[in-house]
Amino acid sequence: MTVNVGSEKQANGQPTRNCKNCGKPFVYKHWNKRFCSDECRIENWEKRTGKTLTKKSKK
């Protein structure tokens, strides 16, 4: 059963929403989550700012 709540849906009792970057539906646990993965979050930030994020090496 799917219930529409605004732009959010519930599938099998779990809240889902569409990723703001790729549009893929995902199950979220926190009300503020907007992206399905860290990769999408970083890609969206890079698109918005025009900067690239570099990984820091652990020493």
Residue-wise pLDDT for 5-30, tens only, equals 445 667 678 999 999 999 999 999 99
Name the residue range of residue 6's domain.
2-49
Residue 28 covered by a domain: yes
Residue 54 covered by a domain: no
Residue 36 covered by a domain: yes
Contact of 16 with 25, CB cutoff 8 Å: yes
Banded pLDDT at 1 (limits 50, 70, 90):
very low
Residue 26 covered by a domain: yes
- pTM check: above 0.85: no
Residue 37 covered by a domain: yes
Number of domains in the chain: 1
Residue 32 covered by a domain: yes
Q: Which residue type sits at 37?
A: S
Contact of 41 with 21, CB cutoff 8 Å: yes
